[in-house]
Structure 1
């Protein structure tokens, strides 16, 4: 544990007074875990050069109030901003709509706060204007996925007109999440933008821009509520693009167990070859229309011949790369899965012929990106001051078109650059693999690259730059230790770690049943049978239950084995959306019926069904990672090369975290009670099983 610097007396008094004021105003009693969490955070944030605090806070601790009471005064004391990041929209909405207003009203602390979202959550007025004003009889611009010419149907036109009317009338703020109905992604992607397509202050609609109006409130706010994706995107742009500079910021990452996985996904690269060739052909047509639309634009058209030449070179080289790759993904005749298979490169090392061809292909794509960037800059200049042959109107029309093309060209170049460079020994390797997907003209091959750990990326972009950070969640330890989290996240060696216990009486209110089964998960068909039999015997038809599986196969086969009466009570993931399942489940319980949810990993966390809504949780088997995932396989390979056992070092700790999350669905408040049943003999017969059990909440165990 890192040594703390001297705690400023003024800050200590302010935090204590705010907590006391809050408890008195709300009529609450102090909680030991909450007080401990406040103290650990404040001590850690003033701890010197490595002011990073990792706090596991059990359910019921009141961690949101704890980290706000600790971090808000600390950030203001050091004249820094506080960025509070969550993994889910639900928690983000709760904090901005409930927790922060409540704290401002009852703690005596004075602070301002604002909500931060990325551009993609806001309406782009320029795109809306273009879509509504374009002549539907003329050829549309290639603005969108697969660069297909746009055609709006009647329903889409009505939606756009309704959105425009509501925004102009002041009845809507342009935020996708505040619209009264869910806007389908295929419609919303027509209306939003990204940093490459946005012309910022040069846009004719800048004064009314939804995104920049929302962003104005961020400049003065003491506390900014964001999400992990936005924070990572901002860091990838160098920091300070949307959020404050990391050096001037204290961060709090709630639901922090998601941070490392989000970072891995954020910094991965993918490139589908046949669809890319199709896109390049469409890009040539798009640029030909640009040349026709702007025949006098000399400053722009001087890039037209070289960019089309570079596109043609890339088109010519792509099939040669496909010839090298397709033999690595042999197609099985009876395989009807959307993704036929993965083919992973051992240690992330790409064979020399493939690497060399990627190196050849990256050159024309790099030129495409450079030339498109130059064209975008010309259009940007024309947005400020009309250039010869380019009116402001035409610049506004073409700027997002070329901006989107530039973004795609840069992404393609990034993947090829990754494949062209040899993997360096001594550092954590990339996972590199191929996948096959169905495509219009035969199956497509996708090149993929991903970090296997986020540690180095987060060290460089976050931990080494921020003024201080707090990472908190109910599940940060694995097998009772922080080692796994530290490996994945790369938090500094001097990080302050603390585990704050839950106030719930698990032994009195919860039972953990471990029945003796006739079959193990190693025998899938027999295990399906005994799981179905156990459910039939254990579940109370009048109660609320959650049954968690690790695969679609077992979920469906167990459901098929149950009788008609049970099947009529089951709400299964895949049949309905997640929110619709939860809504129907609550309605059934409220009306006195029994209800059973069948779900996979997404139902093992973030589900809040207190009281009678959930009194029985069944876990079909230990939630080990699905074998065959390329990133997971590459991580195991690297761990093995470090002289460790990947099962013990990676698989078991990750299963521990997932098992704790699943069991955590049962007790959500001090008055909750119920039973958890785990249908896996390995918890009693394997050594790692006993370790997994020891890390679970201290339920009263009934082993048969």
Structure 2
């Protein structure tokens, strides 16, 4: 139960927040949030099942509310507060703004850390090696690597991808990113790499900020980085993303038609290199085991490759993918799934042992840092290939007595890959998180779908939890007085081939070049087409992907603060977690309803499963998901009570389709102007 002492402490902290927060406005909704969330975490409603679904509208002060409710309880109960978000933007807001403010004015003694995945950090040793091989790269890339090295030395760069001053292409980042094999803490040259320095802060922190993917990966790995679930209070913000992130995490993909001979040549080359580098008896024995394991795998894999190529040629019908209805695999694939799972895992076990032996040799001075890095590079490439294989065959070997997966083949040029994705992750979430955690608060501005918590409860597997609390706190904003939704009349709908051409011609009519503009697109391709057309018309644009997200937002802000207008182009990731208050955004243009691609194999499998149960897949899946994304996008406009502006939606399906009125009614109650 929530003790009187804790109640008094939380009230006092709340008063400090009110006193010190610039421009504070009384928010009854925030008071309700703090009280309800504190009672859920304290077990006031249920002694052990402390779980809450909390929808808090824009402007309710949700982030500060859960800090006020959860941090005092975490400290009193000696638990770690883990805050998981779906977007980098919200992580940055918490770490750079909300938590420092709360730490300063709450009077509580605690430390906080931002915890990112290993691959968000650079390995400085790998960065140095790339600079030392300038003949392999374009001069511009070598220069950028060298600048990054200098920024790291002066600590102007923190060594992570998100704080880069200039965006780095994915292919370039992969050359320098940290991973468990290239950047081991056991090796002296890596102990001061950014990842290990960041991890050292965790032990001293009572509040940890992570993303959803890292949280799930850590839970699945048995809490290798974060504390055990029973020692944690979780606040999962942007929780409407959790199920989708879970499906991505528990999915598998592996290349199935690459030349087996190339793999075998790589294994043979690696054995020769390792034979020279590792002379101890244990290494020779492990190399023999690696040879046996890879031979076993390839003997099983080659007939499967032949069948996959033939199967795809005969049945894909030129669609680029071939989905297995009801997740039923062809007989040979089904029969070979378990043996391939086992043999690929044997290879991985050998690779892990060889990594350990390499590190031992390096620490004993038998290998130079350069030799170690080269061998690690070769070994890690092999490890990645077999890891993908092991994950796919493990998924495909699972019984499908009751269909629980989507399974398909997909072509990328001449190559065919195999895929598996769970239709639901409710079992995994229950097993790893909800049944283990001390308490879980799931928060979002859009947890309800078309007015109900039922969809999110089913998606997360919470319908049978006895202690589950559902709470809705509406936004305090005067939407009707402060904003307008305008749906103009266009000649085409987004399903028409000519829609992009009409966007190119007409989008400028809906911009306000002297104000803060955000234009949201459903695809990168369409965004780039329209951006090119508008630039030819003389418009200055800030386009997602042409610089880092933070660099674009900083430039947008500097233009507005300087008395000029700014036009920011972004895709779905800019439609939530983006905070552009006041003059930074007064004109929001949504080019297209954010429907998921209806032809994706996963969506097909979900629709198939719902239809076989007698449901309507479009109404059950597609419309609710799109409505939620649209609410999130419209939530970018008013971020503070004094904000104002308009939203232009260029998708006429909101008024021409039967589902349109339900989507419109799910939006905040802005004024509406619908051109006829």
TM-score range (shorter-chain normalised) is 0.7 to 0.9
Q: What residue is the counterpart of 2:2 in the other structure?
A: 7
Equivalents in 1 of 2:269, 2:581: separation in Å?
57
Equivalents in 1 of 2:243, 2:259: separation in Å?
30
Equivalents in 1 of 2:499, 2:115: separation in Å?
47
User: Residue 303 of structure 1: SS of its match in structure 2?
Assistant: helix
Q: What residue is the counterpart of 1:120 in the other structure?
A: 119
Shift of residue 67, structure 1, vs aligned partner: 0.8
Equivalents in 2 of 1:374, 1:575: separation in Å?
40
Aligned partner of 1:469 among 417, 424, 440: 440
User: Residue 98 of structure 1: SS of its match in structure 2?
Assistant: helix
The 10-residue stretch of structure 1 (175-184 or 306-315) with the greater mean CA deviation from structure 2: 175-184
Q: Would you say 1:190 and 2:162 are equivalent positions?
A: no
Aligned partner of 2:195 among 211, 215, 219: 211
User: Residue 205 of structure 1: SS of its match in structure 2?
Assistant: helix
Shift of residue 693, structure 1, vs aligned partner: 1.7
Q: 1:571 to 1:421 in 2, by over 3 A?
A: same
Equivalents in 1 of 2:653, 2:400: separation in Å?
38
CA contact (8 A) 2:392 2:420 kept: yes
Q: Would you say 1:409 and 2:386 are equivalent positions?
A: yes
Shift of residue 72, structure 1, vs aligned partner: 0.1
Q: 1:276 to 1:471 in 2, by over 3 A?
A: farther
How far does the alpha carbon of each residue in 1:91-138 deviate from its partner, in whole angstroms, 9 at most, with x for none? 3233222221211221222222222223223343554677788xx79x
Q: Would you say 1:550 and 2:532 are equivalent positions?
A: no
Q: 1:586 to 1:291 in 2, by over 3 A?
A: same
User: Residue 203 of structure 2: SS of its match in structure 1?
Assistant: coil
How far does the alpha carbon of each residue in 1:59-86 deviate from its partner, in whole angstroms, 9 at most, with x for none? 1222111111111011112211111222
Q: 1:166 to 1:250 in 2, by over 3 A?
A: same
Q: 1:178 to 1:652 in 2, by over 3 A?
A: closer
User: Residue 606 of structure 2: SS of its match in structure 1?
Assistant: helix
Equivalents in 1 of 2:542, 2:147: separation in Å?
35
The 10-residue stretch of structure 1 (32-41 or 316-325) with the greater mean CA deviation from structure 2: 316-325
1:137-536 aligned at under 5 Å gives the runs 151=136, 174-178=159-163, 181-200=166-185, 202-205=186-189, 207-239=191-223, 241-275=224-258, 277=260, 278-294=262-278, 296-330=279-313, 341-379=320-358, 398=375, 402=379, 405-425=382-402, 429-438=404-413, 443-491=414-462, 493=465, 494-515=467-488, 524-525=496-497, 535=507
Shift of residue 599, structure 1, vs aligned partner: 4.5
Equivalents in 2 of 1:101, 1:635: separation in Å?
43
Q: Provide the TM-score with structure 2 as the length reference.
A: 0.87
Shift of residue 413, structure 1, vs aligned partner: 1.6
Q: Structure 2: any 5+ residue segments left out of the alignment?
A: none
Q: What residue is the counterpart of 1:146 in the other structure?
A: none
User: Residue 110 of structure 2: SS of its match in structure 1?
Assistant: coil
Q: Provide the TM-score with structure 1 as the length reference.
A: 0.83
The 10-residue stretch of structure 1 (649-658 or 477-486) with the greater mean CA deviation from structure 2: 477-486
How far does the alpha carbon of each residue in 1:636-671 deviate from its partner, in whole angstroms, 9 at most, with x for none? 211222322111211111111011122222222222
1:35-54 aligned at under 5 Å gives the runs 35-47=31-43, 48-54=47-53
CA contact (8 A) 1:585 1:595 kept: yes
Q: What residue is the counterpart of 1:84 in the other structure?
A: 83
Q: What residue is the counterpart of 1:101 in the other structure?
A: 100
User: Residue 262 of structure 1: SS of its match in structure 2?
Assistant: helix
Equivalents in 1 of 2:277, 2:59: separation in Å?
62
CA contact (8 A) 2:542 2:556 kept: no
Q: 1:234 to 1:538 in 2, by over 3 A?
A: closer
Q: 1:652 to 1:223 in 2, by over 3 A?
A: same
The 10-residue stretch of structure 1 (61-70 or 611-620) with the greater mean CA deviation from structure 2: 611-620
User: Residue 285 of structure 1: SS of its match in structure 2?
Assistant: helix
Q: What residue is the counterpart of 1:601 in the other structure?
A: 572
Shift of residue 392, structure 1, vs aligned partner: 10
CA contact (8 A) 1:196 1:404 kept: no
CA contact (8 A) 1:297 1:390 kept: no
Total equivalences in the alignment: 667
CA contact (8 A) 1:573 1:600 kept: no
The 10-residue stretch of structure 1 (111-120 or 35-44) with the greater mean CA deviation from structure 2: 111-120
Q: Structure 1: any 5+ residue segments left out of the alignment?
A: 1-5, 138-149
Shift of residue 30, structure 1, vs aligned partner: 2.9
CA contact (8 A) 1:234 1:242 kept: yes
How far does the alpha carbon of each residue in 1:231-264 deviate from its partner, in whole angstroms, 9 at most, with x for none? 122112111x111111101111222222222221
CA contact (8 A) 2:257 2:309 kept: no
CA contact (8 A) 2:327 2:406 kept: yes
CA contact (8 A) 1:311 1:368 kept: yes
1:535-614 aligned at under 5 Å gives the runs 535=507, 539-540=511-512, 542-551=514-523, 567-569=537-539, 571=541, 576-577=546-547, 579=549, 596-597=567-568, 599-614=570-585
Equivalents in 1 of 2:582, 2:423: separation in Å?
40
CA contact (8 A) 1:124 1:192 kept: yes
Shift of residue 226, structure 1, vs aligned partner: 2.0
Shift of residue 601, structure 1, vs aligned partner: 2.5
Aligned partner of 1:34 among 30, 54, 63: 30
Shift of residue 376, structure 1, vs aligned partner: 3.5
Q: Would you say 1:665 and 2:636 are equivalent positions?
A: yes
The 10-residue stretch of structure 1 (326-335 or 457-466) with the greater mean CA deviation from structure 2: 326-335
CA contact (8 A) 2:516 2:586 kept: yes
Equivalents in 2 of 1:347, 1:331: separation in Å?
19
Equivalents in 1 of 2:286, 2:311: separation in Å?
38
CA contact (8 A) 1:329 1:341 kept: no
Q: 1:370 to 1:558 in 2, by over 3 A?
A: closer
Q: What residue is the counterpart of 1:677 in the other structure?
A: 648
